Each structure stands twice: as structure tokens, then as C-alpha cells.
Structure 1
Amino acid sequence: MSYETMSFNVGDQVTVVTLPPYLKTAEPMPMLRPADLIAVGDVGTVCDRRPGDYWAIKFDRGSFLLEAKYLDVVLKHTA
């Protein structure tokens, strides 16, 4: 699926497919952080949609704003 048409829902599990050059924290006053706080393959939860096609994603090491091009939906397996 093309990231331009990708849409997530709040609560979706997403995985990091490529790392951005830096991370922006999902706080009222965002700060730039090094990209090595997360890794390719890390799974996070979608918390919110933000202006500028950014998504607030909660990871174990914090909540960050990421563009859809860095994310992919984790498929849930049903038993």
C-alpha cells in the first residue's frame, strides 16, 4: 500500500519500516531527538493524527511524531 493513501486508526499497532533522520516528540512543545531511540521493526500504537500528515505513535521509549512513509500496519492473526 502506498504511504500517500495509507490511513491508520487510533489504537492500530504499527511497525517502523525505515528510520527518519530524527524524531520529533509528541508533546505540546515538540523537541527533536536522535532517531536511534527506536529501531526498524519496533512496534508502537497509534495515539493521534496530527497536522502535516504526522501520526503520534507511542513506543516503549516514548511517543513520537512520524510520517506514514516510515510506518506500516501490523497485521493481526486470528486463530
Structure 2
Amino acid sequence: MMKEFTIGEKVRLVSLPPYLKTAEPMPMLRPADLLQVGDEGTVLDRRPGGYWGVRFGKGAFLLDDQYLESI
């Protein structure tokens, strides 16, 4: 079941994906170790393909809902 978040909602990273995709107009892949499990961020938007744009302290990334939980 897909989780639904609202724009501006605070979320927590519950597991790390194999890599991170930046939430820029031209997304780039970054190593997953930029973030740690438990990092908190803010939902920016919903993207095609089931991704959520989330702003963390180290940047904005596109993440699948399986890696996120509401705070």
C-alpha cells in the first residue's frame, strides 16, 4: 500500500536506498551515505513514478515512500 504525505509534512528516513537521486530539474545520483537512518526532512512535492521530493539538511532528494515515515 502506498503511503500518502502532505506537502510540508515532516518525515523520517527509516532505511537507506541503494543510492540517492537529487530533486533537481536534472536529477543526479549520489551515494546513499549522505543521509543516515533517522534523518528528518520536509516533503516538498510528489513526483512521477511514485517518488517524493524531500528536503533534508544535506539537500533535497527523491525518495520512494518505502524509505519514509511520518513524524
> Which residue, 43, 47, 58 being the options, matches 1:46?
43
Residue 5 (structure 1) shift: 2.9
Distance 1:42 1:34 in 2: 15
Query: Taking structure 2 as the reference length, what is the TM-score of the superposition?
Result: 0.98
Deviations 1:11-55 (A, max 9, x none): 000000000000000000000000011100000000000000000
Letter paired with 2:60: S
Where does structure 2 lack aligned partners over 5 or more consecutive residues?
Answer: none
The answer for the alignment partner of 1:26 in structure 2 is 23
- Identity value in percent: 61
Q: Which structure is larger by alpha-carbon Rg, 1 or 2?
A: 1
The answer for the alignment partner of 1:7 in structure 2 is 4
Greater strand percent: which structure? 2
Where does structure 1 lack aligned partners over 5 or more consecutive residues?
Answer: 75-79
Alignment RMSD = 0.5
The answer for the alignment partner of 1:70 in structure 2 is 67
